[in-house]
């Protein structure tokens, strides 16, 4: 009935109606599963912990600066439901290198709101979520569904998920209004491997269709600037394996590897290692989480720094070029619980810095006439309260 209502209402729906419809389906879907969930109250699956986070994000790199607040609230209802809301704002100023050569610096604001709900049904957790992102020349709406099912004495968890997205691409001072349709399927299995090890294997497929090139960017053919032209579809596959290991006393290590390739011949390998341990000089209240990450990417088949001849598809987007990154970072979590015990079980103040070093093999910085390389700085500060 919900779906039939949704179908009827969708005919001729405006963008606002579409957002309201998605929220309606999300809420009514969760509520409609209430009787079943109450009957099957004995379960091993657990809902995510209740928490509230308030923080500030900062990104700076390649002439671009992005700052803004972030807020996350997650609350349980009747021990069977978990609802969450997330708000983010990105205040963007400047322009990256591939835009500076053809346009001027700018500033704009992007806002994103995400809503989610989860419920437990026997050994499964059902999740629904939706998000809206809006900025002057780009809108994005998505809905998602996921199920995580514990089995074999809760030693394994099977994860299935589907996401659907609708984007609208615009261009400032023009009437450009084109769509992108996105589909995402993911399948994963995680396992309690031993007393100290957790393992996870995941596969994800992303399909996109529509205006996939950037209306602000251009390509170069024999030194002459032309418009970019991308294929209208793209399908990407990502395989990843991750492991968590607990080491006494009180340290945890995480290993991560991902292989990605797509129908544009972009392929990449990602390696990551992180290590969380108390900072002994201060005490157990302060936990530092260090991480190092390596990312290696091959360029798309139609990417050219300076194309020798015209071709059907052509791009000069540095995100599609041949490049590597090295990333180093640390986040400190300081437990404030001994000072704040009134309303919350735990209160933590966190501060993190990450430096990402980009090195491009076939993207020329035209202002310096050499291959581009730069460092991006990521800073985060936030307070977390668990209740």
Partner 1 sequence: MKKSAFIALTVLYLCLNGCTHLPEIPSLKTWLQPYERELLADPYMNFNHDPITQDFRRHVYETREGANGGFNSKGGGCGCN
Q: Closest approach of Cβ 67 to partner 1, in Å?
A: 12
Residue 222 or 265 having the CB closest to partner 1: 265
Nearer to partner 1, 153 or 309 (CB): 153
99 or 314: CB nearest partner 1: 99
* Rounded least distance, CB 75 to partner 1, Å: 14
H, E, C per residue of the chain: CHHHHHHHHHCCCCHHHHHHHHHHHHHHHHHHCHHHHHHCCCCCCCCCCCEEEEEEEEEEECCEEEEEEEEEEEEEECCCEEEEEEEEEEEEEECCHHHHCCCCCEEEEEEEEEEEEEEEECCEEEEEEEEEEEECCEEEEEEEEEEEEEECCCCEEEEEEEEEEEEEEECCCCCCEEEEEEEEEEEEEEEECCCCEEEEEEEEEEEEEECCCCCCCEEEECCEEEECECCCEEEEEEEEEEEEEEECCCEEEEEEEEEEEECCCCEEEEEEEEEEEEECCCEEEEEEEEEEEEEEEECCCCECCCECCCCCCEECCHHHCCEEEEEEEEEEEEECCCCCCCCCCEEEEEEEEEEEEEEEEEEEECCCCEEEEEEEEEEEEEEEEEC
Query: Which residue number, 282 or 309, has a Cβ lying nearer to partner 1?
Result: 282
Min CB(121)–partner 1 separation in Å? 5
How far is C-alpha 368 from the chain's CA centre? 33
Q: Give the Cα-Cα-Cα angle 228, 321, 254 (nearest 5 degrees).
A: 135
Min. distance of Cβ 380 from partner 1 in angstroms? 6
- Tell which residue, 342, 368, 362, has the closest CA to residue 63: 368
Of 76 and 258, the one with the shorter C-beta distance to partner 1 is 258
- Report the nearest approach of partner 1 to the CB of residue 312 (Å): 20
Which residue, 73 or 220, is less far from partner 1 as judged by CB?
Answer: 73
Q: How far is the CB of 336 from partner 1 (least distance, A)?
A: 15
The nearest distance, CB 287 to partner 1, in angstroms, is 8
Query: Which residues have a Cβ under 8 Å from the Cβ of 300 and sit 6 or more positions away?
Result: 264, 265, 266, 315, 320
Q: Which is nearer to partner 1, 195 or 368 (CB)?
A: 195
Taking the least distance from each CB to partner 1, the nearer of 92 and 220 is: 92
Judged on CB neighbours under 10 Å (0-12, 13-18, 19+), 382 is buried
Distance CA 2, CA 320 (A): 41
Q: How far is the CB of 314 from partner 1 (least distance, A)?
A: 16
72 vs 83 by CB, closer to partner 1: 72
Shortest Å, Cβ 338 to partner 1: 17
Which residue, 175 or 309, is less far from partner 1 as judged by CB?
Answer: 175
Nearest distance in Å: CB 343, partner 1: 20
């Amino acid at each position: 009935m919900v779906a039939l209502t949704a179908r009827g209402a969708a005919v001729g729906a405006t963008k606002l109606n579409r957002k309201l419809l998605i929220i309606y389906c999300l809420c009514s879907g969760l509520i409609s599963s209430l009787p079943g969930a109450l009957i099957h109250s004995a379960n091993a699956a657990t809902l995510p912990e209740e928490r509230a986070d308030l923080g500030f994000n900062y990104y700076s790199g390649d002439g671009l600066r992005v700052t803004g607040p972030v807020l996350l609230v997650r609350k349980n209802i009747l021990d069977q439901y978990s609802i969450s809301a997330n708000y983010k704002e990105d205040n963007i100023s400047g322009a990256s290198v591939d835009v500076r050569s053809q346009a001027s610096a700018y500033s704009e604001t992007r806002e994103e709101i995400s809503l989610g709900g989860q419920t437990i049904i026997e050994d499964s957790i059902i999740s629904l979520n939706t998000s809206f992102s809006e900025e002057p020349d780009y809108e994005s709406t998505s809905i998602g569904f996921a199920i995580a099912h514990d089995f074999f004495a809760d030693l394994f968890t099977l994860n299935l998920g589907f996401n659907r997205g609708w984007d609208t691409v615009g261009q400032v001072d023009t009437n450009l209004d084109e769509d992108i349709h996105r589909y995402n399927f993911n399948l994963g299995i995680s396992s309690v491997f031993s007393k100290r090890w957790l393992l996870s294997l995941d596969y994800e497929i992303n399909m996109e269709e529509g205006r996939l090139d950037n209306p602000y960017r251009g390509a170069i053919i024999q030194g002459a600037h032309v418009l970019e032209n991308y294929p209208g579809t793209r399908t990407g596959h990502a395989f990843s394996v991750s492991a968590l290991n607990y080491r006494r006393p009180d340290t945890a290590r995480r290993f991560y590897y991902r292989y990605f390739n797509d129908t544009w011949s972009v392929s990449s390998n990602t390696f990551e290692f992180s290590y969380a341990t108390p900072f002994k000089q201060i005490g157990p209240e302060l936990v530092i989480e260090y991480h190092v990450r390596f990312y290696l990417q091959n360029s798309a088949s139609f990417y050219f720094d300076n194309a020798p001849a015209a071709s059907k598809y052509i791009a000069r987007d540095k995100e599609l070029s041949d490049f590597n990154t090295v990333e180093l970072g640390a986040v400190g979590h300081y437990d404030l619980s001994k000072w704040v015990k009134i309303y919350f079980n735990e209160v933590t103040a966190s501060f993190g810095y990450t430096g990402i070093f980009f090195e491009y093999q076939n993207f020329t910085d035209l202002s310096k006439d050499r291959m581009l390389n730069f460092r991006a700085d990521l800073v985060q500060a936030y307070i977390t309260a668990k209740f």
